[in-house]
Structure 1
Amino acid sequence: MNQAVFLDRDGVINEVLSHRVKFVNKPKDFYLLKGVGPAIKHLNEAGFLVFVVTNQGGIGLGYMTEERLEMIHETMTDQIAEFGAVIHDISYCSHKPHADCPCRKPKAYMLERLAKKHKVDIGKSIMVGDREPDILAGKKAGCQTVLVNAREDETYGADAVFSDLEHAVPWILQNRIMVEE
């Protein structure tokens, strides 16, 4: 069985609600956060599969198309590859917020689907997010959880809290649970 780190996208990997960009609806709006490329490379080198699980309600609301989202994700993977890092797979929910679909975080479906597809021991994996729905999805899936870039003092019950992904990596590596093949 494999071990994975599931990453939310906006606010964990890239800027959102910043001085440069409000929402990422076009590839030109994608700005990788400082330290993310090397952080993902460290996770890759430690043997983790790295996945992105992201709510993208902008599709359901008509702000972008799935084709545009694919272009944004291509921009993301290209920028991360510049650091020698790899995202192994991406799962997204395109439904409107409050649509009560089965895949939107805080539900665990995206994590569970990726875990099944890639033979991941989800109980020995980690979900990293910047909002409560990310932490709740990780908890529901049975992962350890890490909160980064928190906008409030609330931790949402995360197992660990850090300023950003780069600073979370040492904790993730230290708390790695060895997975039997």
Structure 2
Amino acid sequence: MESNQNVQIRAYAETRVQKMVHIANTDLSLRVVNRTTEQADGLWQYARLLLGEIERAPSREVVESKLDSLPNGSEELYTHILCAKEATMTDAEKVFARYMFLCADISNYMPDFLAQMTDIIQQGMLDLVFCYANGGNMPFDVPSLAERLGAPLIEVLRPTEHTYEVRFVHLSIYQYLADSKKFARGCKIPEPLQAR
């Protein structure tokens, strides 16, 4: 008998899958729901991110491949997402992404006016980091660049038209990134900052 949490995750998965035009109402949709519920094991964030990965899959074969090799737990899922994102990035985008995620690791050491919350990278901080990563020049549209490089693990919040902040969608992602040993298992470790 499924726990109440798994029943709710199953209902959530069924709702999300019905919105996926190419697999809704097919035999694959039932398999996606069953495997998501089983692997999530009560973890909402896992189900949300996994279904997002399946939703972005370009074909039935890719969906089936993902279902056959589902990551175990949040840590493996985060590694999978980061490595898949990295594989599609240009060299320049990889530099920006590494420095953005490096912010999570060093935010504990920043002065309070730069790092006020552990799961949020504030506008001033990200502007400085991206400017540094770009050789001292501000890149175009920092919030859109951050969103493109970090979604679905981060989201860009825009309280006003001219302000933004980057938030990790779950505190466990921040904790995962802050533990460089876990981050190093699947992807390249961000290069340390060097004095100019």
Structure with higher Rg: it is 2
TM-score higher than 0.5 here? no
Q: TM-score, normalised on structure 2?
A: 0.27
Q: TM-score, normalised on structure 1?
A: 0.29
Q: Higher relative contact order at CA 8 Å, sep ≥6: structure 1 or structure 2? A: 1
Q: Which structure has greater strand proportion?
A: 1
